[in-house]
């Protein structure tokens, strides 16, 4: 009799554990899907801006921002740097945790630290991590912090 109670309890626990992992996996996938959808919308809207002839340079000029840093040198960061090259907006440096593995075509690259040069604004390109990154940046620099997503949606 005691053996069957143990089997029943173990069965119950195994079933609940299986449900827990199923929902955990399902929710993790949905979060990943949401992130992918946000990036896909961002690039789609970016293309709309390009097709209309709008530029990031105008966004910064309207706000009297002349020198920026770009946080994150993944796909979005590289494209932003490319679009601003040759403009009046100076990219003073790039901030990326992979500093040693990044080639930025002459733009200095640094990691997040307290002795970063002063800029008018820092554009945060990892849009899904904006809150965490901006909280860390606020502790070490007083520049305006702008999400790449906000720039694109404001220009639309």
pLDDT digits (tens, 9 = 90+) for 115-125: 899 999 999 99
The reply to whether 13 falls in a domain is no
Domain assignment present for 115:
yes
Is residue 24 in a domain? no
- Is residue 68 one of the residues assigned to a domain? yes
- Domain interval for residue 59: 54-155
- Average pLDDT on 88-111 reads 86
Residue 23 domain-assigned (yes or no): no
Distance separating alpha carbons of residues 130 and 116, to the nearest angstrom: 19
Q: Work out the average pLDDT over 104-132.
A: 92
Structural domain contains residue 20? no
pTM for the model? 0.78
Give the CATH number for residue 61.
3.40.50.720
The tally of domains found in the chain comes to 1
Contacts of 64 (CB under 8 A, 6+ apart): 120
- Considering the domain boundaries, does residue 77 fall inside one? yes
d(CA 155, CA 153): 5
Does 144 fall in a domain? yes
């Amino acid at each position: 009799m005691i053996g069957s109670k143990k089997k029943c309890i173990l069965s119950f626990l195994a079933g609940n554990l299986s449900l827990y992992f199923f929902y955990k996996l399902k929710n993790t996938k949905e979060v990943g899907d949401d992130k992918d959808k946000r990036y896909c919308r961002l690039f789609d809207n970016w293309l709309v801006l390009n097709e209309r002839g709008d530029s990031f340079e105008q966004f910064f000029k309207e706000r009297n921002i002349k020198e920026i840093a770009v946080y994150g040198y993944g796909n979005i960061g590289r494209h932003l740097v490319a679009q601003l090259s040759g403009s009046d907006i100076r990219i003073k440096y790039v901030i990326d945790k992979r500093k040693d593995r990044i080639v930025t075509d002459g733009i200095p690259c640094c990691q997040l630290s307290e002795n970063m040069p002063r800029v008018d604004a820092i554009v945060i390109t990892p849009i899904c991590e904006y809150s965490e990154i901006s909280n860390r940046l606020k502790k070490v620099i007083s520049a305006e912090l702008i999400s790449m997503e906000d720039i694109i949606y404001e220009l639309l």
